[in-house]
Amino acid sequence: MTATRITVRGDSPYDVVVGTGVLGELPGLLSAGVRTVAVIHPASLPEIARPACGVLEAAGYEVVALPVPDGEEAKTIEVAAGLWSALGRYGVTRSDAVVGVGGGTATDLAGFVASTWLRGVEVVQVPTTLLAMVDAAVGGKTGINTPEGKNLVGTFHTPRGVLCDLATLVSLPREDYVAGLAEVIKGGFIADPTILMLIEDDPAGACTPEGAHTRQLIERKIQVKADVVGADLRESGLREILNYGHTLAHAIERVEHYRIRHGEAVAIGLVYAAELSRLDGRIGTDVVDRTRSILTSVGLPTAYRREAWPELRDHMRVDKKSRGAKLRFVVLDDIAKVSRLEDPSEELLEAAYQEVGR
């Protein structure tokens, strides 16, 4: 099957290439004149980086493999500083490139390092998880974590291109694949209801890379993000809709010390955002029920510990969408109709959480 090219428009347009066995497209995404390519990848998974390095070496590039810790442990200033030092040692210049291979944490880190080395070198992202393909690697947001919160330090750095080889999903653990579905489902609620219908038609198939609708689900979610990011790269307005469900999700991740999968936290956050929307009189119980039903059908969580509310509320104060002391939530007025809830009352926030807390 041929590759699909989804263009992310804007001031610096680029393509997201989607297909099975398309790793050979990687050299074509780099600019002319690149000589050295630094490939940043998780240390525990060298096998996911080896094919990318091989393709680049065969195309004549000098390739430097730079392993980093797994998961959120990679997204620290210490790891970034180590990578800057490595880029200096290997003589990576402004006309060279960084390639990020791996899940969302690896691509977030690779983008951040590329954006800050020599005030910006090009980056090509090669996401290898469902979550990274449909969300983290597309859009030009980069970031690292601090003790105070997730992704609080970062940049906007448009990639030169993104390559999604669906063959890499076959070896992904089922739990990680299913967690990535939360971002796909989010896309259905904020912009593309067909995504929801495809999952409802075959929830078991949605949970596997071999599902009948897998490629369509992935491409539709990438298209949702491409449309939003192309219109609003720097999150000055429209792009905020992509944060639907994420305010509570990021707080849960902090409480769990990042031991919970991002997609699992997002799934709970989607229910919370839907309950906020309902209690604020924007949607009916049918939309909330549908949210729970779809998430449950693919095995994602929809509830969290009731007693955790005070700690969660405290972490929500440093959410990136906040303005001063005022929280801002992305909420639904209907499926595929999104708005913002500014400075909701403490009573409303807690009441919505009571519907999520078990």
pLDDT of residue 230: 81
Assess whether 200 and 164 both reside in one domain. no
The domain boundary, picked from 111, 138, 171, lies at 171
Q: Which of 83-92, 233-242, 346-355 has the lowest mean pLDDT?
A: 233-242
Render 71-118 in DSSP notation, one character per residue: GGGGSSHHHHHHHHHHHHHTT--TTSEEEEEESHHHHHHHHHHHHHGG
Does residue 98 have a pLDDT over 60?
A: yes
Assess whether 166 and 269 both reside in one domain. no
pLDDT in tens, 314-344: 999 876 555 556 899 999 999 999 999 999 9
Question: Is residue 326 marked as binding?
Answer: no
Question: Is residue 157 marked as binding?
Answer: no
Q: Which of 79-83, 122-126, 152-156, 184-188 has the lowest mean pLDDT?
A: 152-156
Q: Residue 1's pLDDT band (boundaries 50, 70, 90)?
A: low
Q: Residue 238's pLDDT band (boundaries 50, 70, 90)?
A: low
Assess whether 11 and 65 both reside in one domain. yes
119 is catalytic: yes
Q: The domain that contains 290 carries what CATH number?
A: 1.20.1090.10
Assess whether 81 and 201 both reside in one domain. no
What's the token pair of residue 7?
């263009």
225 is catalytic: yes
Does residue 11 have a pLDDT over 90?
A: no
Does residue 233 have a pLDDT over 90?
A: no
Mean local confidence (pLDDT), 167-176: 95
Q: Residue 149's pLDDT band (boundaries 50, 70, 90)?
A: confident
Q: How far apart are CA 191 and CA 134, in angstroms?
A: 14
pLDDT in tens, 259-312: 999 999 999 999 999 999 999 999 999 999 999 999 999 999 999 999 999 999
Q: How far apart are CA 182 and CA 205, in angstroms?
A: 15
Mean local confidence (pLDDT), 143-170: 93
Question: Is residue 150 marked as binding?
Answer: yes
Q: How far apart are CA 125 and CA 140, in angstroms?
A: 10
Cβ atoms 245, 270 nearer than 8 A? yes
Does residue 18 have a pLDDT over 80?
A: yes
Assess whether 135 and 200 both reside in one domain. no
Mean local confidence (pLDDT), 207-234: 91
Active site residue: 122, 219, 235, 264, which one?
Answer: 235
Q: What is the DSSP letter of 213?
A: T
Active site residue: 220, 225, 315, 328, which one?
Answer: 225
Assess whether 157 and 275 both reside in one domain. no
Q: Which helix (H) or strand (E) holds 334?
A: strand 328-334
Active site residue: 41, 141, 160, 221, which one?
Answer: 141
Assess whether 199 and 118 both reside in one domain. no
The secondary structure of the chain in percent helix, strand, coil, rounded to multiples of 5, reads: 50, 20, 30
Residue 288 half-sphere exposure toward CB, CA atoms < 13 A: 20
Range of the structural domain that residue 22 is part of: 4-171
Per the structure, the count of domains in the chain is 2
Assess whether 136 and 264 both reside in one domain. no
pLDDT in tens, 31-81: 999 999 999 999 988 888 999 999 999 999 999 999 999 989 999 999 999
Cβ atoms 160, 97 nearer than 8 A? yes
Q: How far apart are CA 53 and CA 38, in angstroms?
A: 9
264 is catalytic: no
Q: How far apart are CA 314 and CA 186, in angstroms?
A: 25
Question: Is residue 183 marked as binding?
Answer: yes
pLDDT of residue 48: 87
Assess whether 147 and 184 both reside in one domain. no
Active site residue: 89, 119, 259, 358, which one?
Answer: 119
Render 136-204 in DSSP notation, one character per residue: ITSSSB--EEETTEEEEE--B---SEEEEEGGGGGGS-HHHHHHHHHHHHHHHHHT-HHHHHHHHH-HH
50 Cβ partners below 8 Å, 6+ apart? none
Q: The domain that contains 148 carries what CATH number?
A: 3.40.50.1970
Which single residue is written with the structure tokens 């490595």?
86
Assess whether 154 and 183 both reside in one domain. no
State the chain's mean pLDDT as an integer. 94
Give percent above pLDDT 70 in the chain: 96
Q: Map residue 57 onto helix, strand or coil.
A: helix
Residue 111 half-sphere exposure toward CB, CA atoms < 13 A: 31
Which single residue is written with the structure tokens 């209801």?
193
Assess whether 9 and 128 both reside in one domain. yes
pLDDT of residue 324: 56
Q: How far apart are CA 303 and CA 271, in angstroms?
A: 8
Does residue 25 have a pLDDT over 70?
A: yes
250 is catalytic: yes
pLDDT of residue 349: 97
Does residue 2 have a pLDDT over 90?
A: no
157 is catalytic: no
